[in-house]
Amino acid sequence: MHIRKKKWARPELNACAWYENDGEKRKGHWREAFPRPEAPLHLEMGCGKGVSTAKMAAANPDINYVAADISNDVLGDARRNLVRECGGEPDNIMILSCDICFIDRYFDQRDGAERIYISFCNPWTERPKHEKRRLTHPRQLIQYRRMLRDGGEIWFKTDDDRLFEDSLAYFALCGFELRYLTRDLAGSGFEPNYLSEHEIMYMEKGVPIKFAILRKTPEEPDFDPTRFRLTPGVKKNALEKILQGM
């Protein structure tokens, strides 16, 4: 994805009380960043311009959100969208500048998030060696498990069939069970669904959106993503296992 440089983004973000550029210092204490620390904590990985984030945060003032992205240029847009959608400075969201590949530098089990959103992450389908860059790769899921509370969920949306099927297998390997699945989100009637920038773009092209809700299981998985190879056979078995659980 090409991201246009925006000179205004960094100064606006630096002046924003709910922008965090040094998330490591909040590790384990994210709930305290909000006026209502007892509220549920939802995290978004790769929020982009925050089109769906803004609608979601405005519609749910009783939920605290942390929306993360690596690009300050898109976070600048996210900040503006949030102010517009919330009708002023919101107090239930923090926007976090970070590399999600190292997300466990920023969150741990003390944060105990109830939910993680991953919407339209890059599918990295062109070269097999790039598979580990996916935001749903087991290297990521093992980290997300640690910052989710027991029974916590991941809500995952994509336009990409291969990323979707592979990700379902990753979820099975990493201790998640399927709670909901549709391969046509718009046609499914699922609500509430806050449309993201990329979701709108793919819907306009007529691409059906794939969506799944995965729940963290209590049993620790014995899968080690740094040592195990994700062969087609491993993925096929894991995919069958998670779909059987539906």
Residues contributing to the site for ligand SAM (CB under 6 A): 1, 46-48, 68-71, 74, 99-101, 119-122, 196-199
Based on CB atoms, which residue is closest to ligand SAM, 98 or 173? Answer: 98
In the complex, the smallest distance separating the C-beta of residue 169 from ligand SAM, rounded to whole angstroms, is: 21
3-state secondary structure of 214: strand
Q: Which is nearer to ligand SAM, 136 or 172 (CB)?
A: 136
- Cβ at position 171, least distance to ligand SAM in Å: 18
The owner of tokens 């993503």 is: 225
User: How near is the Cβ of 51 to ligand SAM at its closest, in Å?
Assistant: 6
Query: Which residue lies nearer to ligand SAM by CB, 102 or 228?
Result: 102
Nearer to ligand SAM, 100 or 230 (CB): 100
Distance CA 190, CA 149 (A): 24
Cross-sheet strand order for the sheet of 93-97: 19-20, 93-97, 64-69, 41-45, 113-119, 148-158, 210-216, 176-182
CB contact set of 218 (below 8 Å; sequence gap of 6+): 150
The minimum distance between CB 233 and ligand SAM, in angstroms, equals 28
Structure tokens at 137: 């790769």
Q: Which residue is nearest to ligand SAM (CB)?
A: 48
